[in-house]
Structure 1
Amino acid sequence: MKHFNLPDLGEGLHEAQILKWHVQVGDSLEIDQLLVSVETAKAVVDIPAPYAGLVAKTYGEPGDILAVGTPLLSYAMAADAGTVVGRLDTHECSDSDDFFIGASPSTRAFGITAGATVLQGVSRSMVLSMERSAASVVPVSIFADADLYCWRESRDPLMRLIKAVATACRLHPALNCWFERQSLSVKSHGQVDLGIAVNTDQGLFVPVLRGVGSRPTAELKRQLAQLRREARARTLKPADLQGATITLSNFGALSCRYATPIVMPPQVAIIGAGGIREEPVAMNGEVHVHPVLPLSLTFDHRAVTGKQAADFLQALVLALENPDE
């Protein structure tokens, strides 16, 4: 008998909810045959069979939550399959208290009274992520405005902002880092892998746009459009959600100006961009009306000093205010 454990489905993902089993006890499996579809914090993932053999037992039913590393399925291998056939019990799959995790205590707290709604999927993930951030990050937020009067109208604001973030990270790399709490160390990154917050009807997703400082704008634009489509369709792969070195939350579409966005460890910073507005600006002793972009920067004060954060935000503003090439 061989156990197959729920695999690691991506950085920071500790559990998954079973959506649908594609096999049942007694089925004969081929390698890479689809076993089960699960929902992680951010995506729906299809898990294939790692071995050929006979399904001896499944752990959990649709709606159940399993922790990464606990058994998902037991195999009867070719050598012992004959001794198992005929005595497999389909009801065994959810009776084991040894491996079935169910909802965590923090989630069960939402449903301890009759009729309470237990948060699941993206909503559940958001609660747990916010709890982890609140428990481990020392957040400070600062704010600034970028005067965009030198921009050409044809310039894509989001792409310009992404490129400006890459410039600020190159000039002030202390914010393009991870903070390792246990070792009290900072890990620097050679490139900017930017998490881009994407709002969908099902919740917030943060896919990663990689190497934003070295790739052509047109290529970044195409990939970002693809990531947005996949986020809305729930087809993002776990790898698409891993490894962001800094995050951008573009909440201007929500009619907001400033915010204190949440830093997600091990990252040490998140940039917030509000909506561009026409505002009066003093220039050469006269009042002019210019497009102004409000910016927020929240940083983890354990790893980033106030001076480092202020220098980064100033570099971001200057990169945005420079005339188009």
Structure 2
Amino acid sequence: MIATMIKEFRLPDLGEGLTESEILSWKVNVGDTVTLNQVIAEVETAKAVVELPSPFAGVVTALHEQPGTVVEVGKPIVSFEIANDDGGAPAPGNGPADEPPPAKREPNLVGYGAVVESSGRPVRRARGHLAAVKDAAPLVDSPMPTHQAAPEPAPAEPAAHSQPAAAAESTAERPRSTPPVRKLAKDLGVEIESVTGTGPGGLITRDDVRNFVGGGDLPAAAHALSATAYSRESADKQGDEREVRTPIKGVRKFTAAAMVSSAFTAPHATEFLTVDVTPSMELLARLKESRPFAGYKLTPLTLVAKALLIALRRNPSLNTRWDEDAQEIVQFNYVNLGIAAATPRGLTVPNIKDAHALTLAELSAALTELTDTAREGKTSPADLSGGTISITNIGVFGIDAGTPILNPGEAAILATGAVRRMPWEYQGEVALRQVMTLSLSFDHRLVDGEQGSRFLADIGSILSDPGIVLAMV
């Protein structure tokens, strides 16, 4: 008989000193047999959603936290029954005989105790079984809160199943949804498994169910119920839900703390410049039709980003950081360009590493990849750290100008407004031209008004006359 022992797995530090994470879902249940590195849970930190691999091979004996619970780092979350060192038999999934069994590899708060196939970091969410977020994540960083209804907390799953068959059945992948959404689907005669979720992590929302009804994929009887059910739900929302309270956690909590810290630590100053970008828009149209840029997604943001990178060479004070502890100003000789993105999980600012070294085509590809990754909720913590300067594109919402708040640790952020056709003075006459307003916020400890003005003027000069770059570089 093989001797066994109970091992607890404590929530590890998932990177950069994060102190807590939310359990989104368990991928295992009590009684399940798991192998080394098998994904056992999906958790959300303040920056990203990650999957936790098992540090042991054995049987799950307890799940200490329910989905939707915010857990502090170091707190036990799951227990395993594993083969004891003295039992004479290695645990399933163990490595070669000369390696110690997983029981000897204590989970720690930085790594995971087990030997993982790659870097030992938590595995980011695999999207094969979760529907990607369909709606594009607009690139924006507004100091004003986005009025976006947060999904209701996922219901807590039972912590234990006494029968192995029940455990096996419950571990099958089930669409994520909330009780009100499942009730709406039932009222409409919709099989919830047939609906594709567009909420965070593939969460099925009320709109997903309604859109499924409107797509013609239901029997006629279900369509007959749709109007009644929709009206009843609307009445319930208006009559019983006069207020909706959403816990402040995850990305929104992290972003709020960072913005408050930035606003009350760095003395912000903001300048505005409205420029005629017609030559840049004409250049953009020609590039899209040229063979070297075939297959690239070129946008006005691509040209603005390139103009900013060129202007930074002439104005390096905008690419700095104030080190309060060391009482030093840190000058960056590289540019990690942050692009503010509003996602279903909240505002994030992933950055393009070493953007200063990229050609226009490479920069376009990097922007596309960054946008797609944010849209699908796959942005990693590493992509969200180390930025040196940022851009926020408020023009996608038809906004002309704003006063963006600095990303913590950066000296400047540029907001790009909408491109509008407006009457404008051109060659001594009034003509319809394509015009854009640029808004630059900077840390006045690091950047003087003259330096900020020259930097903004350089960006405006490039966008109003791209040929001027020949005189700048």
How would you bin the TM-score normalised by the shorter chain?
A: 0.7 to 0.9
Deviations 1:140-163 (A, max 9, x none): 111112222323251531111110
- Aligned residue among 11, 14, 17 for 1:8: 14
Partner of 2:248: 119
Distance 1:74 1:311, change over 3 A: farther
SS at match of 1:165: helix
Counterpart code for 2:25: K
User: For 1:14 and 1:170, how far apart are their aligned partners in 2?
Assistant: 38
Distance 1:316 1:51, change over 3 A: farther
Aligned letter for 1:135? F
Q: For the structure 1 residues 280 and 233, does the alpha-carbon distance in structure 2 shift closer, same or farther, using more than 3 Å as the test?
A: same
Name the structure 1 match of 2:328: 185
Which runs of structure 2 are paired with 1:256-271 in the superposition (5 Å)?
A: 256-271=399-414
Structure 2 vs 1, CA of residues 262 and 67 (structure 1 numbering), >3 Å: closer, same or farther? Answer: farther
Q: Which amino acid aligns with 2:67?
A: P
Matched, 1:148 2:277: yes
Q: Per-residue deviation at 1:118?
A: 1.9
Query: 1:64 aligned to 2:33?
Result: no
Gaps of 5+ in 1: 83-89, 92-113
| Identical-pair percentage | 35
Cα 1:172–1:117, aligned 2, differ >3 Å: closer, same or farther? Answer: same
Query: Aligned pair 1:203/2:346, yes or no?
Result: yes
Q: Aligned residue for 1:39?
A: 44
Q: 1:139 is matched with which residue: 268, 275, 292?
A: 268
Whichever residue aligns with residue 43 of structure 2, its letter is V
Determine which of 239, 248, 253 is the counterpart of 2:396. Answer: 253
Matched, 1:317 2:446: no
Cα 1:312/1:29, change in 2 over 3 Å: same
How far does residue 263 in structure 1 lie from its aligned partner after superposition? 0.7
Over aligned residue pairs, what C-alpha RMSD do you find? 3.0
Give the conservation status (yes or no) of the 8 Å contact 2:11–2:72: no
Call closer, same or farther: CA 1:115–1:178 in 2, change over 3 Å.
same
Matched-pair contact (CA < 8 Å) for 2:21–2:72: yes
The answer as to whether partners of 1:57 and 1:74 remain within 8 angstroms in 2 is yes
Flag the 1:50–1:316 CA change in 2: closer, same or farther, 3 A. farther
Change over 3 Å in CA distance of 1:257–1:36 after alignment to 2: same
The higher radius of gyration belongs to: 2
Structure 2 counterpart of 1:305, from 435, 448, 464: 448
Q: Please, which runs of 5 or more residues in structure 2 have no aligned partner?
A: 1-6, 88-158, 161-242, 288-298
- Counterpart-to-counterpart distance in 1, 2:309 and 2:428: 33
Task: State the Cα distance separating 1:258 from its structure 2 match.
Answer: 1.1
Instruction: Identify the range of structure 1 (219-228 vs 239-248) with the bigger mean alpha-carbon deviation.
Output: 219-228
Distance 2:450 2:76 in 1: 48
> How far apart are the structure 2 equivalents of 1:69 and 1:140?
41
Residue 269 of structure 1, CA deviation: 1.2
Greater percentage in strand? 1
Measured after TM superposition, the shift of residue 196 of structure 1 is 0.9
Return the match for 1:281 from 424, 430, 434. 424
Q: Does 1:176 align with 2:316?
A: no
1:216 Cα offset (Å): 2.5
Q: How many residues align?
A: 295
* Rounded Cα–Cα distance in structure 1 between residues aligned with 2:407 and 2:25: 30
Q: What TM-score do the two structures reach when normalised by structure 1?
A: 0.78
Question: Which whole-Å deviations, capped at 9, do the CAs of 1:65-124 have from their partners, x for residues lacking one?
Answer: 234465555667754698xxxxxxx79xxxxxxxxxxxxxxxxxxxxxx97432333433
Evaluate the alpha carbon distance shift between residue 2 and residue 68 of structure 1 in structure 2; reply closer, same or farther with a 3 A threshold.
Answer: closer
* Displacement of 1:249: 0.3
Q: 1:164 aligns with which of 283, 290, 307?
A: 307
Alpha-carbon distance between aligned partners in 2 of 1:50 and 1:172, rounded to the nearest angstrom:
49
CA distance in 2, matches of 1:53, 1:188: 51
Letter of the structure 1 residue corresponding to residue 247 of structure 2: V
Which amino acid is 2:388 matched to? T
Equivalent residue number for residue 104 of structure 1: none
Q: Any idea what SS the aligned residue of 2:355 has?
A: coil
User: Secondary structure in 1 aligned to 2:278?
Assistant: coil
TM value normalised by structure 2? 0.55
Q: Name the SS for the 2:367 alignment partner.
A: helix
Q: Distance in 2 between matches of 1:138 and 1:22?
A: 46
| Counterpart in the other structure of 2:367 | 224
In 2, Cα distance between the equivalents of 1:18 and 1:260? 35
Shift of 1:257: 1.1
Contact 2:8-2:77 within 8 A present in 1 as well: no
Q: Which residue of 2 aligns with 1:94?
A: none
Query: What is the CA-CA distance between 1:320 and the residue it aligns to?
Result: 1.9
CA separation in 2, counterparts of 1:70 and 1:132?
28
User: Are residues 299 and 122 of structure 1, via their aligned partners in 2, closer, same or farther at CA, if it must alter by over 3 Å?
Assistant: same
Which stretch shifts more, 259-268 or 190-199?
190-199
